[in-house]
Amino acid sequence: MTNRPTGVTILAILLILGAALNLIGLPGSILIYGILYAAYSGILGVVNLIIGLSLFSMQPWARKAAIVIEIIGIITSILMMVWITSIFPLLGAALALTMAPSMVIPIIVIIYLMQGSIKDAFENPDAASTW
pLDDT of residue 130: 46
- Over 60: is that where the pLDDT of 76 sits? yes
Q: Is residue 82 part of a domain?
A: yes
Q: Is residue 106 part of a domain?
A: yes
pLDDT of residue 103: 84
The length of the chain is 131
Backbone region of residue 5 per phi and psi (left: phi > 0; alpha: psi in -120 to 50; beta: other values): beta
Q: Is residue 75 part of a domain?
A: yes
* Of the candidate ranges 8-17, 46-55, 75-84, the one whose mean pLDDT is the lowest: 75-84
Q: Is residue 62 part of a domain?
A: yes
Give residues with Cβ within 8 angstroms of 74, minimum separation 6.
Answer: 103, 106, 107
Q: Is residue 114 part of a domain?
A: yes
Question: Do the beta carbons of residue 103 and residue 92 sit within 8 Å?
Answer: no
Q: Is residue 93 part of a domain?
A: yes
* This prediction's pTM: 0.80
Owning domain of residue 34? 6-119
Domain count, the chain: 1
State the average pLDDT for the chain: 86
For residue range 32-67, what is the model confidence (pLDDT) as tens digits?
888 998 898 899 999 999 999 999 999 999 999 999
Q: Is residue 126 part of a domain?
A: no
Residue 82's H or E segment, with its range, is helix 62-87
Q: Is residue 127 part of a domain?
A: no
Three-class SS state of 112: helix
